[in-house]
Amino acid sequence: MFQPNELSIPDVKPLIDIAFNLTTYLNQFWNYFLVFSGVVIGWRFSAKEQWERPHKWIVTGVYTLFAFLNGWALWVIYDWLQKVVLDVNSAASKLSSQYPHIKEVMGQSSVVGGKSAAAIIYLGGYSLVLFCVWKVKYEKKPEDNNGPHKEISNAKPGA
């Protein structure tokens, strides 16, 4: 029988919607970080010549600004998500016994890894990108004049 202090699914649906929306934002900001980091690393490895120091500083500055703002947004979203998950866990204990499976799932919900693990992974990725910007060296391969790109000369043989 339904008790007045018990919650039903319509009572907790907004809370669950908030948790799913925060998870979507979390994934979106991680994707931004991965794509932008991949672009910087790819740009570095595909460079045809060695980057000069001013070029490295500009790339480092732009990437650091992006990483700081994106990391801050991730930190805030993780913080909000952890608070919402605590509320979901609390609501699970008050959920009507009409929903035993949902009650069990809600009671076990958590943020996998949490902010600390995310921060370690994020800083590791950031460090990898900066390592690639500053330490990757471009080495010219010796040219092979017998290869498909040899220079064509208009000079006649034996002339």
Residue 144 has pLDDT above 90, yes or no: no
Burial of 102 (0-12, 13-18, 19+ CB in 10 A): middle
- Residue 8 in any domain: the answer is no
* pLDDT tens digit sequence for 58-108: 999 999 999 999 999 999 999 998 888 888 777 777 776 776 777 677 666
Give the total number of structural domains in the chain: 1
In a domain, 67, yes or no: yes
Q: What is the pLDDT of residue 94?
A: 75
Residues 85 and 49 sit within 8 Å (Cβ to Cβ): no
Taking the C-alpha atoms of residue 98 and residue 119, their distance in angstroms, rounded to an integer, is 40
The model carries a pTM of 0.73
Q: Is 115 a domain residue?
A: yes
Radius of gyration of the chain (CA): 27
Q: Where are the alpha helices (DSSP H) in 46-156?
A: 53-94, 100-108, 114-135
For residue 15, tell me if it sits in a domain.
Answer: no
Q: Tell me which residue range forms the domain holding 114.
A: 25-135
Residue 146 within a domain: no
Residue 56 lies in a domain: yes
- Give the pLDDT score at 1: 44
Examine residue 5 and state whether it is found in any structural domain, yes or no: no
Q: Per the domain annotation, does 18 fall within a domain? A: no
Alpha-carbon gap, residue 118 to 112, rounded angstroms: 9
Q: Per-residue pLDDT averaged across 29-47, rounded?
A: 94
